[in-house]
Amino acid sequence: MSSRPFDIPIPDEPRDPFPIVTDYYCDIVCGFGRGSKDLGVPTANVEMSQLPASMNSLDLGVYFGFAQLRPVDKTTSRVNRKDGKEVEYNYGEHLSEKRGELDVLPMVLSVGKNPFYGNDFKTAELHILHNFSHNFYGAQVKFNILGHIRPELNYTTKEALIKDINTDIDIAKRTLESVNYIKFKDQF
């Protein structure tokens, strides 16, 4: 599969089973660091086990909604990644209210096994549509899912994956600005 076969039409307002909300904050954990380095699209990974059952049972694919971050009151520490590399968790200490980083922000969510990278486990990863000046490993995030963009695909090239992720971002941004979706910012 080199690119998306078609775009699923997005309804004028969220349709069943959406909205789905995490009515608590989930911990942001590290993955393998490929999102930023390899694709230029960082994603905040959350543990599947912390998500509500209704999110766990979604089809693998790309979704969109709103997210809100919150720092955790802990001092910076080093955590061992699955592949043995050490990652620094700052628990969101650089998140800035002034820069709007604690606002409810639009996001695109990938729920999948990342076939392009041959993972054999499922992850949930949020790319928040904001340009952050620091990472925020160890911070927490609360979010809602308002719609579905496309199924997860197995790409033959990295360029095709990046192109589609950028199309997903455009669709999410445009939809979340529309009247019947922006209302759901108040769900927080």
The interface with Mg ion within residues 16-35 (CB under 5 A) comprises 31, 35
Asked if 8 and 151 count as a contact pair (C-beta separation under 8 A), the reply is no
Residue 108 contacts which entry, ligand ADP, Mg ion, ligand RBF, none (Cβ below 5-8 A, type-dependent): ligand RBF
* Annotated active-site residue in 125, 152, 159, 177: 125
Shortest distance, CB of residue 63 to ligand RBF, whole angstroms? Answer: 9
- Kindly report each contact of residues 184-187 with a partner whose C-beta sits within 8 Å and lies 24 or more positions away, as own/partner: 184/14, 184/19, 184/65, 184/66, 184/144, 184/146, 185/66, 185/104, 187/19, 187/21, 187/66, 187/144
Q: Based on the shown chain and the rule CB under 6 A, indicate whether residue 42 belongs to the binding site for ligand ADP.
A: yes
Active site residue 86: no
Site map (CB under 6 A) of ligand ADP, residues 127-156, x = contact: xx-x-x--xxx-------------------
**DSSP 8-state symbol, 155:** -
Query: Of 10, 21, 26, 28, which one interacts with ligand ADP (CB under 6 A)?
Result: 28
Which helix (DSSP H) or strand (DSSP E) does residue 150 occupy?
A: strand 147-151
Q: Residue 36, exposed/middle/buried by CB under 10 A (0-12, 13-18, 19+)? A: exposed
Task: Read off φ and ψ for residue 121, nearest 5 degrees.
Answer: -130, 160
Are 51 and 124 a contacting pair, CB within 8 Å? Answer: yes
Q: How far is the CB of 60 from ligand RBF (least distance, A)?
A: 8
Q: Which does 130 bind (CB under 5 to 8 A by kind): Mg ion, ligand ADP, ligand RBF, none?
A: ligand ADP
Residue 64 as a binder of ligand RBF (CB under 6 A): the answer is no
Q: Between residues 20 and 160, which has the closer beta carbon with respect to ligand RBF? A: 160
Q: Does 175 bind ligand RBF (CB under 6 A)?
A: no
Catalytic site residues? 125
Q: Which residues bind ligand RBF (CB under 6 A)?
A: 31, 34-35, 41, 43, 62, 108, 110, 112, 114-117, 125, 127, 152-153, 155, 161, 165, 168
